[in-house]
Copies of this chain bind each other. A is one copy, B any other.
C-alpha cells in the first residue's frame, strides 16, 4: 500500500480523552475513531490488525475441532426469559423494542441462543462431542465505557460453546479449549497465564481467565516463576483424552489476580512468586446443565435414556486484544507490533522522493516485495525524513527500510528492527531475500 493513497490519519498530539497508552496510540496511529461512547469504527490499518488477530483465533479453534458458524447480533428476549437471564442480566444488556413492540436485545453473549439452536437440531449422543464457535460483534452497555477498545460497549468476541453427553466429556472439551487458548495467545507473541476464576453471571463449576502480562495492565497478578519458561506450541488440542494431563504444567502452579490473592495464605515461596500487572483477554467456563436444563436441550444416550447436554463456553476478546497487545508492546515513540499481528511487515521509506534514484529503487523494491507476498507499506509522500521516521515508529511495523541518497552511494538500504532498535545496512537484493525467505 502507498501511504500517499492510504487512509491513515496520524496525529502527534495525545488526545485528551485517552488515559492509557493503547487508547492514545490507537487514536494517534489512526487505528480507530470513536463514534459514540465506547463505540468505535476501525480505520484501514486498525482493521488489518483486528483481522489478523481474528484469523489466529479462528485457526486455533479449527485446529481444536470447533466448527465456525455465525449467530445474529439481535436476539429475541424470549430465549433469555427461558433461562431467567432477561431479568437478571441487568442494565449492561442493551434492550431494544422493534416497530411491533416486540422485546429484543443486542446479544452480550450467546449461551441462550446456542442452546436453542442445539436443541432444535441435535438429538443423539452420536453427534457429540460438538464444539461450535462464532466471531461476532457483541454489545454490553457499560455504565462508564473507557480505555478505548479495552472496555468498549460494542466489541468483537470469539465465543465457543461445547456440548458433551456427560461431565467427563465436558472436562475434555474444557481442557481442549484451554490448550487452544494457550496456543492462540502464544502465536500473537503474548505470554498468557491462566488463572482460576469465579464464574460470575455465566455460572458453573470450573473457570479460568487468561491474563496477559503488561506493565500498564488493569490488575495486579501473582504467579509462580515456572510459568515464564513454558511453551504451549507443542500442545495438541485434538488429543482429547490426554489434554487435561498435557496442560497440567499450566494448571498446577499458583496464579491469581489481586482479587483472590491472599499473601498470608499463598503457598508459594517468596523467591518463586512473581508480581506483575495483567489484562484479561480470555475467559472459559464449564457450567454443566445450567442452560440445557431450563431450555430442555437433551440428547438421547446410548442406553436410550435422555439427559440434558453438558456445556461450556469459551470467550476471547478479539477487539480487546488489539488494545491489550499495545499495552504489552509499545514504547515512548509508538506501537511495537508482534510480527504475527502487524498490519504490514515492512515500512518502506523513500527519504527523498525528488531524487530519481531513490524513487526508482523504492518502486523496484515495492514491486518485488509485493510480488513475493510481503506486506509492505510504502511511504511515498513528499515529507521530511524525520516526519516519516516518526510515523513509522508510531504505527509500529516490525521492520523499516529507509532508502536515501547517502545509502545508495554506498549501495545500501538501512533496515531498522522496531522492537530492538537495531539497524543494519543491506543491499537491495539481500533485503528482498531476507524478507521473502
Contact assessment for B139 and A39 in the assembled complex, using a CB-CB cutoff below 8 Å: no
Is A378 in the interface zone, CB < 8 Å from B? Answer: no
Is A43 in the interface zone, CB < 8 Å from B? Answer: yes
Are A41 and B72 also in contact (CB < 8 A) when A7-B67, A117-B33 are? Answer: yes
Secondary structure at the A interface, as helix, strand, loop or mixed, is: mixed
Is A75 in the interface zone, CB < 8 Å from B? Answer: yes
Contact assessment for B154 and A74 in the assembled complex, using a CB-CB cutoff below 8 Å: yes
Q: Which A123-157 residues sit within 8 Å CB-CB of chain B?
A: 127, 130, 132, 137, 139, 141, 143, 153-154
Is A426 in the interface zone, CB < 8 Å from B? Answer: no
- Alpha-carbon gap, A65 to B42, bound state (A): 18
- Alpha-carbon gap, A132 to B33, bound state (A): 15
Interface string of A58-72 (1 = CB under 8 A from B): 000000010111111
Is A36 in the interface zone, CB < 8 Å from B? Answer: yes
Stretch at the interface among A94-102, A165-173, A197-205: A94-102
Is A73 in the interface zone, CB < 8 Å from B? Answer: yes
Is A89 in the interface zone, CB < 8 Å from B? Answer: no
Contact assessment for A67 and B44 in the assembled complex, using a CB-CB cutoff below 8 Å: yes
- Alpha-carbon gap, A79 to B36, bound state (A): 10
Query: Interface size (A, Cβ < 8 Å)?
Result: 53
**Residues of the B chain whose Cβ atoms lie less than 8 Å from the Cβ of A67:** 6-7, 44
Are A69 and B40 also in contact (CB < 8 A) when A7-B130, A98-B94 are? Answer: no
Contact of A74 among B36, B68, B121, B122 (CB under 8 A): B36
State how many angstroms separate the Cβ of A435 from the closest Cβ of chain B.
22
Interface string of A167-197 (1 = CB under 8 A from B): 0000000000000000000000000000000
- Alpha-carbon gap, A106 to B39, bound state (A): 12
Contact of A73 among B43, B69, B132, B154 (CB under 8 A): B154
Contact assessment for B141 and A99 in the assembled complex, using a CB-CB cutoff below 8 Å: yes
Query: Which residue of chain B lies nearest to A67 when distances are taken between CB atoms in the complex?
Result: B44
Query: Which residue of chain B lies nearest to A11 when distances are taken between CB atoms in the complex?
Result: B121
Contact assessment for B104 and A74 in the assembled complex, using a CB-CB cutoff below 8 Å: no
**Residues of the B chain whose Cβ atoms lie less than 8 Å from the Cβ of A348:** none
Contact assessment for B74 and A41 in the assembled complex, using a CB-CB cutoff below 8 Å: no
- Alpha-carbon gap, A125 to B83, bound state (A): 56
Contact of A47 among B36, B69, B76 (CB under 8 A): B69
Query: Which residue of chain B lies nearest to A33 when distances are taken between CB atoms in the complex?
Result: B117
**Residues of the B chain whose Cβ atoms lie less than 8 Å from the Cβ of A92:** 99
Query: Which residue of chain B lies nearest to A131 when distances are taken between CB atoms in the complex?
Result: B7
**Residues of the B chain whose Cβ atoms lie less than 8 Å from the Cβ of A120:** 9, 33
- Alpha-carbon gap, A421 to B9, bound state (A): 55
- Alpha-carbon gap, A242 to B387, bound state (A): 36
Is A213 in the interface zone, CB < 8 Å from B? Answer: no
- Alpha-carbon gap, A153 to B91, bound state (A): 25
State how many angstroms separate the Cβ of A363 from the closest Cβ of chain B.
17
- What are 14 A-B pairs with beta-carbon distances under 8 A? A5-B65, A7-B67, A9-B120, A9-B122, A33-B117, A35-B71, A35-B72, A36-B74, A36-B76, A41-B71, A41-B117, A44-B69, A74-B153, A74-B154
Nearest first, the 10 A-B pairs at minimum CB distance are A9-B121, A36-B76, A42-B70, A41-B71, A91-B99, A44-B67, A39-B72, A99-B141, A47-B70, A44-B69
